[in-house]
Chain A
C-alpha cells in the first residue's frame, strides 16, 4: 500500500515554475530519500503535502485521503520535521511535548509516557533546561521527538541533517534508522552519503521534475557504468604511462589528476586488457588498479546536469 501518492503536481510562484508534473508514490515502511539541489523544489513539495502551500494543480493523497490546502485532516497521520525547527524557547522539552500532546488530543497519561520514551530515544532525557539554550543538534533531535509524538504513519523530514556536524548527523540518522518498520519516512537532503546510509528508495528532483526514481540497488544497476582507477606512486610515472597510452583510445574518456587516471568504460573487460597490456609493455607499475562501483554521486551528477 502507498502511504503517500502525488499525482501531476504543479506549483508556480507567480510566473516562476517550481514544480511541474511531479508524480510519485511512497510505499509503506520504506525510507524514501528525496534528493535534489538547493532550490530544486523539495521543501515546496513537502509543504504542499502538509497543506501549508497551495498546489497550482494536481492531487496529493496520504493513506488514500486527499490532502486539502489549509486545514487538512491528513496531518493527523503525519509527523513533520522542518528544516530549521522553531520551538518556544521559554519551554523545557517535556513541556513542549506536553503542549504537542494536548494539541493532538492525546490522552494525558499516554502523552506523558510517550514523551519520556521519545526524549530518551533522541537522547534528551537529561536535558532539563529551556529550549532556548539548546544547540542546533539538540533542537533537531527534539524536532524528531515532536514529529514522532502522535505515532505518525508518515514521517516527513526536511533536510534533517544538512545543518549538523558529523556526530549530530550520525545521531539523527541513527534515530531515523531506529524507527524504520514502524513508520514510513520521507526525507529530503542533498547529502548523498546520508541517502546511501539509510534509504531504500530514492527520488531525484531537478528543476521541479522527477529525473530519477526507484530503489537504490535498482538505480545503481540500471545506470551502471564502470570506472577504473589507476594510481601511480609519482606524477612522473603517471605522465609516462599517459604517454605510453596515447596510442590507445583508452584516455579519451578519462579524467586525469596528478598521480591518477580515472577511466569510464562501457566494456570493462576490454579496458582492463588494454591497461594491463600497457603496464606489461611499459614496465610502469601503478600502485593501485581498482574497479570503482558506480556511486550515487556519479548517478546524481549524471541526471542533474
Chain B
C-alpha cells in the first residue's frame, strides 16, 4: 500500500516536470551539448588560427577523441549547474507556495515526499546525463574515431557527483523553504569541496575528485582504484544528506 502512495507522488513529479517544460529543456540542452562536444573538439584546431592575429603561427596537434571528452567534462559542470537551477524549486517552491499542505493533511508522509522527490530528480538527471553521454559517445566515434580506456567508469563518477549535488539541493530546500536557500546550500557545498581540493593530501577523499579528474582516467594517469574512497564517501554523503533532509523535514513547522 505504501509503495503505491510513493509511486503516485513520484508520478506526479514527472507529470510536473513534463507540463512545466522542465523535462524538455533538460532533454534538449543535454542533447545539444552532447552534439557540441565532438564538434567543438573537431573544429577548434581549424577555427583557432583564424581567430589569431595575422602572422601568428599556432601549431595544434590533430584532434583526438580525448579532446571531445575534455569538452564533455568541462561542459558537464555547466549542465549540472543548469540542472540545479531548473530544479532548485522542486521542494522549495512547494513549501513556499503551500502546495504540500493539502497533501500532508491527507496523510502523505513527509518521508515519502523526500524520497519521491529524490527519486524523480535523480531519474531526470540520469536521463539527461545518459542522453548527453550517448550522443557524445556516438558522435565522437563518428567524427574522431579512436579508443580510450575507462570511458564508462569515468562517466559514472561524474554522474554520482551530480547525484550528491542534487541531494544537497533537496536539503537546502527543506532547510530554508525557498529557492535561494536551496541554491545557497548546493553552491556552498560545491565551493567547500573545491577549496578542500586545494590540499593534495585530501584529494582522494574529496567527492570533487569525481568531477575534476575524469580525464586522468581516460589517459590512464589514474586508475579506477584511485577513485574508490571518493566514491564510497560520496555515496555515504548522499545517504546521510537524504536521511538528514527527512529528519529536518519531520521537525519542520509548516
Contacts and interface: CB of A to CB of B under 8 A. Distances in A.
Contacts of B102: 80, 82, 85-87, 100, 143, 146
For the complex, would chain A's binding face be called helix, strand, loop or mixed by DSSP majority?
A: loop
A99 B104 contact: no
A136 interface: no
B8 A103 contact: yes
Nearest to B96: A86
28 contacts: A52-B101, A53-B254, A71-B109, A71-B110, A73-B107, A75-B105, A75-B107, A76-B107, A80-B102, A82-B98, A82-B102, A84-B98, A85-B101, A86-B97, A86-B99, A86-B102, A88-B16, A88-B99, A90-B16, A91-B15, A91-B19, A99-B9, A100-B102, A102-B4, A102-B5, A103-B8, A105-B5, A149-B106
B1 interface: yes
A242 interface: no
Interface residues of A, number: 31
A104 interface: yes
A150 B105 CA distance: 11
Nearest to B9: A103
A52 B105 contact: yes
Contacts of B5: 102-103, 105
A70 interface: yes
Interface in B196-212: none
Interface string A125-165: 00000000000000000010010011000000000000000
A78 interface: yes
Given A80-B105, A87-B102, 11 more contacts: A50-B105, A53-B254, A80-B101, A82-B101, A82-B102, A86-B97, A90-B19, A100-B106, A103-B103, A103-B106, A104-B107
Contacts of B226: none
Contacts of A90: 15-16, 19-20
A18 B104 CA distance: 23
A52 B97 CA distance: 15
A282 to B, nearest CB: 62
B147 interface: no
Nearest to B99: A86
Nearest to B102: A146
Interface in B1-20: 1, 4-5, 8-9, 12, 15-16, 19-20
A76 B106 CA distance: 6
Interface in A62-94: 70-71, 73, 75-76, 78-80, 82, 84-88, 90-91
B221 interface: no
B100 to A, nearest CB: 9
Contacts of B8: 99, 102-103
Contacts of B108: 103
B253 A52 contact: yes
A217 B110 CA distance: 43
Contacts of A59: none
Given A80-B102, A90-B19, A146-B102, A103 B107 contact: yes
A228 B193 CA distance: 78
Contact of A75 (B12, B15, B106, B254): B106
B46 interface: no
Contact of A70 (B12, B20, B99, B250): B250
Interface string B99-127: 10111111111100000000000000000
B157 to A, nearest CB: 35
A150 B106 contact: yes
Given A52-B101, A52-B254, A75-B105, A99 B110 contact: no
A9 B63 CA distance: 74
A278 to B, nearest CB: 59
A259 interface: no
Interface pairs A-B: 3 shortest CB-CB: A102-B8, A90-B19, A80-B105
Contacts of B103: 100, 103
A54 interface: yes
Interface string B15-41: 110011000000000000000000000
A104 B97 contact: no
Nearest to A48: B253
A88 B17 CA distance: 12
A47 interface: yes
Interface in B62-119: 97-99, 101-110
A85 B103 CA distance: 11
A78 to B, nearest CB: 7
Nearest to B8: A102
Interface in A210-260: none
B254 A47 contact: yes
A71 B250 contact: yes
B63 to A, nearest CB: 44
Nearest to A130: B19
A70 B106 contact: no
Given A103-B8, A103-B108, A53 B253 contact: yes
Contacts of A76: 107
B253 A54 contact: yes
